[in-house]
Amino acid sequence: MNGEGAATPAPRPITSLRGVGEALAHRLSALGIHSTLDLLFLLPVRYEDRTRTVPLGELRPGMRAAVEGEVQLTEVAFRGRRQLLSRLSDGSGSLTLRFFHFSSQQQQGLTRGTRIRCFGEARRGNAGIEMVHPEYRRAGPAGEGNEDRLTPIYPSTEGVTQGRLRMLMKLALAQVNADELRDWLPAELLQRADLPSLHEALLLVHQPPVNCPVDELVNRRHPAQRRLAFEELLAHQLSLRQLRQRIQSEPGWVIGSDGALASRLLASLPFALTGAQRRVLGQIDADLACERPMLRLVQGDVGCGKTLVAAVAAAQVVQAGRQAALMAPTELLADQHAQNFQRWFSPLSVPVALLTGRQTGKARQSLQKGIREGHAPIVIGTHALFQEGVQFASLALAIVDEQHRFGVHQRLALREKGSAEGRQPHQLIMTATPIPRTLAMTAYADLDISVIDELPPGRTPVKTIALPESRRDEVVQRIHGSCLAGRQAYWVCPLIDESGEMPYSAAEETAQTLAAALPELRVGLVHGRMPGAAKERTMQEFKRGAIQLLVATTVIEVGVDVPNASLMVIENAERMGLAQLHQLRGRVGRGEFESTCVLLYHSPLSSLARERLAVMRDTSDGFEVARRDLELRGPGELLGTRQTGLSQMRVADLSRDADLLPSVQRAAQLLLQRWPAHVAPLIARWIGQAEQYGRVG
C-alpha cells in the first residue's frame, strides 16, 4: 500500500450505510460522526461478557450477566408507581424483571411460557433478585443465543440506543470499503512500533474475542486502541507541521545587527541577564538572522523575565530599521508592557506607541498613520493591533505575550500582517504556562521551543499556606501587619460566586468589607467590567504604593508586576485550577521581600481540591506544578481548551498516551520524508478538511 499518487478519498457520508436515514444521521452528528469511519472511531467505553449464560440460581446482587429463563408470570402492579413485573425461572432459581416504562406490546410479549434471554445488572429486590429495565429478547434453543464476542458499550447519545449503535457498527464494519480503510501508516512503520493494521484494530475494538484482556481494553492500553491513538496523534502532529510550513513558505526579514542598541538597553539596567535569558536571546538572534520567519515559543515560569527578552529582541529589529509589535491579552497588560518599554527605550530615543481599543478618533488615526509610515518602530497593544485598518510599514517581529489566550488561528492571522514586500514577520510567542517537554512538542509542533528555566537571583520562594474560610479574620490581621510594615497585598476573589451570578458585586462587597475592617489602609478594586481608564488609574495607584490593598477578580492573573507586593490572598482557592493558582501566586515574590500566598478555602474540600492545594503548598516550581496538573486534570485544561486543537481528540489522550509521543514525532518525520502523499489523507481522516490549520485562511 505504499503509494505515490495517493489521492484523498472523499469520506463516505454516514447515510451511505444501509439503514441510516437523515434523522439518525442528525443524531449521530451530535457525537461528531459524519462518515462511516467517524462512526468506527467511536470507541466503546467498556465491554460486557455475554458469551456465557449465568444460571439464575448463581445470580448475585451487583453481577452484570446474561441469563435465560421461562416466563412464569407477568403482571402490571401499582407499588407507588405503575410497573410491569415479569417472573422468570430456569430450574436453578428465579428472577424478577421490573419495568417502569413499558408498552402493552411489551407486556404481551412476556406471556407465560415464553423463553427470554436478557442482560442486566442483578440487584436485591423485595422478592428476591431482580433486574430493572434489562435488555431482553426471545431466546432460541438453549445456549444458541450466546454471543461469541465481548459486547461493546458505547458512549450514549440521545435517541440512539446501545442496540442500535452495535447494529450500526456491525454494518459499518461489513460495508466499509478498502479506500476508506486504507492504511496510511506504512507496514514498515507499523512493524517498528509493533502496532496492528487499521482494519485489525477496528475489528478488535468493536468485536473483541472472548479471551481478550478486558482490563487492557477498558484502560485503552490494548495495541488495537494504541494503534488508533497513534494514528490520531500523528495526524495532529502533521497538521501542525503543515501550518508551520505554510507560514514559513514566504520569506521573513533578515535581521542582521551588531546588537549595539540591545547592548545599550542592557547596560542601562540595574541587573544583568540571567544565563537562561542570554541563552534564549541567542536562539532568537539566530532565528532573526535567517530569511525563514521565526516561529518560536518561549516558555518560562512567572517572573523569569520574559518581557525583557522580548524587549531585547525588539531592539535588534529596531536597529535594523524595521518594526516590532507586542500583543498582550488584556489592556492592563498592554499598559504595563508599554510603561516598561517606554522606561527602557525612551533613554535610547526610540519611541514606543500604545494601541488598544481605548484609542479612538483622531488619536487613533494619527497613531495608525505613524505605524503605516514607519515612524512607530515599537507598537504595543491588544488584539486591536492586528485588526483591520492597522497596517505596518515593515513589521519584522510580532511578539505575542501569554500565548494560552491566543490560538493557532491567531498565529495564522499574524501572517496577514506581512508588508507589501511580501515578507512575513518573525513570530515570538511567550507563555508562562510551563508544560512538560514532550507535551509541548506535540501541542506546539508548529513552533520551536525555548525554555527560560531560571529565575533572576535574589528571589525568595513564596511561602504558601492553605486556611479554611473560618480563619479569615487572622488573614485580615496579617494584611494589616504586612501593609503597616510598608508592603502591599492582593486579595483575589473568584470570578463566579455560588449562584454563578453577579461576580463583580461579590468583589465590590469584599472590597467594602475589607476597607471597613482595615480603616488605616487604602483599599482599591479592579475587575474586568471596569472601564479601562478606571482600571488603569487604580493599577497606577497600586504601583505607586498609594493603594496598599488591591482587591481584584482574576483579571490580574497574568503578568502584573508590583515588586513591593508581598502578600497574596486567594479566596475560594478550592475552585481554581492549578495553573491559575500558580499564575496568581506569581504576582508576589517579585522583589526582595519574603512573600506569602494564602489560599482561603471553603470546607469540605473535594479530593481533587485537596490535592491541588497540597501541590501548591509543596512546590513553587511551575514545571512541577504543570506536571502535577497534568496528572490531576489531563492535558485539555492544562493547555487551555481549543487553542491547540488537541483537546478535541477522539481516541488519543495526551496524558494516557504520552509514552507514544516520541515515536509519533519520529513517525511524522519519516512520513514527511518518505511518504509525503500520505500526509494529507491522514490529516483529512482525523481532523477533517475544515479544521486543517495549514489550510485555514
Given the rule CB under 6 A, which residues bind ligand ADP?
271, 273-274, 277, 300, 302-308, 432, 456, 559, 561, 563, 590
- Residue closer to ligand ADP by CB (options 304, 521) is 304
Q: Which is nearer to Mg ion, 14 or 334 (CB)?
A: 334
Euclidean distance between CA atoms 331 and 512, whole angstroms: 25
Q: How far is the CB of 265 from ligand ADP (least distance, A)?
A: 12
**Distance in angstroms between the alpha carbons of the first and the last residue of the chain:** 33
Does 635 help bind Mg ion (rule: CB under 5 A)?
A: no
Q: Which is nearer to ligand ADP, 84 or 328 (CB)?
A: 328
CB-based contact 209:49 (threshold 8 Å): no
Which residue lies nearer to ligand ADP by CB, 40 or 304? 304
Identity of the amino acid at 179: D
Q: How far is the CB of 240 from ligand ADP (least distance, A)?
A: 25
Q: The dihedral of CA 362, 365, 370, 371: what is its sign?
A: positive
Q: Give the total of residues touching Mg ion (CB under 5 A).
A: 1
Q: What is the dihedral of CA 367, 371, 377, 378, to 10 degrees?
A: 60
Cβ 559 to Mg ion, closest distance in Å?
A: 4
Which pairs with CB-CB distance under 8 Å and at least 24 residues apart come from 136-145? 136/97, 138/109, 138/114, 139/68, 139/115, 142/68, 143/53, 145/53, 145/66, 145/68, 145/117
CA separation, residue 465 to residues 222, 313, 474, 596 (Å): 43, 38, 13, 8
CB-wise, 508 or 621, nearer to ligand ADP? 621
Q: How far is the CB of 640 from ligand ADP (least distance, A)?
A: 17
Contact predicate 129/122, CB 8 Å: yes
Place of cell 450500526: 168
Please tell me the distance from the alpha carbon of residue 341 to that of residue 336, in angstroms, as a whole number.
9
Nearer to Mg ion, 329 or 559 (CB): 559
Taken in order 442, 443, 449, 450, is the CA torsion positive or negative? negative
The region of 284-292, 293-301, 491-499, 556-564 touching Mg ion under the rule CB under 5 A is 556-564
CA dist 131 and 125 (Å) reads: 8
271: amino acid identity, one letter: F
Q: How far is the CB of 452 from ligand ADP (least distance, A)?
A: 7
Candidate segments 72-80, 324-332, 559-567, 624-632, binder of Mg ion by CB under 5 A: 559-567
Question: Residue 299 or residue 572: which is nearer to Mg ion going by CB?
Answer: 299
Nearer to ligand ADP, 308 or 397 (CB): 308
Shortest Cβ distance from residue 438 to ligand ADP (Å)? Answer: 23
304's contact among Mg ion, ligand ADP, none, with CB below 5 to 8 A by partner kind, is ligand ADP
From ligand ADP, Mg ion, none, interface partner of 100 (C-beta below 5 to 8 A by class): none
Nearest approach in angstroms of CB 335 to Mg ion is: 13
CB of 310 to ligand ADP, least distance (A): 8
User: In the complex, what is the shortest distance from the CB of residue 403 to ligand ADP, in angstroms, rounded to a whole number?
Assistant: 12
Stretch that binds Mg ion, among 232-240, 437-445, 557-565, 624-632 (CB under 5 A): 557-565
If DSSP codes are grouped into helix, strand and coil, which group holds residue 306?
A: helix
212 binds, among Mg ion, ligand ADP, none (CB under 5 to 8 A by kind): none
Q: How far is the CB of 297 from Mg ion (least distance, A)?
A: 14
For the CB of residue 627, give the shortest distance to ligand ADP in the complex, in Å. 19
Instruction: Label residue 563 exposed, middle or buried (CB < 10 Å: 0-12, 13-18, 19+).
Output: middle
320 binds, among ligand ADP, Mg ion, none (CB under 5 to 8 A by kind): none
Residue 329 touches Mg ion, criterion: CB under 5 A: no
Cβ proximity to ligand ADP, 560 vs 687, nearer residue: 560
Q: Please choose which of ligand ADP, Mg ion, none residue 596 contacts, taking the beta carbon within 5 to 8 angstroms, the exact cut-off set by kind.
A: none
Judged by beta carbon, residue 95 or residue 400, the one nearer Mg ion is 400
The interface partner of residue 561, options being Mg ion, ligand ADP, none and the CB cut-off 5 to 8 Å by kind, is ligand ADP
559 is a contact residue toward Mg ion (CB under 5 A)? yes
Order of strands, sheet of 323-327, starting from the edge strand that comes earlier in the sequence: 352-355, 378-381, 323-327, 395-401, 426-431, 295-300, 448-452
Ramachandran area for residue 432 (φ above 0: left; ψ -120 to 50: alpha; else beta): alpha
State the Cα–Cα distance between residues 277 and 270, nearest whole angstrom: 15
The dihedral through the CA atoms of 348, 350, 351, 355 has a sign that is negative
> What three-state secondary structure class fits 73?
strand
Q: What residue 524 binds from Mg ion, ligand ADP, none (CB within 5 to 8 A, per partner kind)?
A: none
- Our CB check for ligand ADP shows the closer of 458 and 500 to be 458
For residue 587, give the C-alpha cell: 504576582
C-alpha distances in Å from residue 393, one per residue of 285, 370, 373, 376, 565: 22, 9, 6, 9, 40
Interface with Mg ion by CB under 5 A: which residues?
A: 559
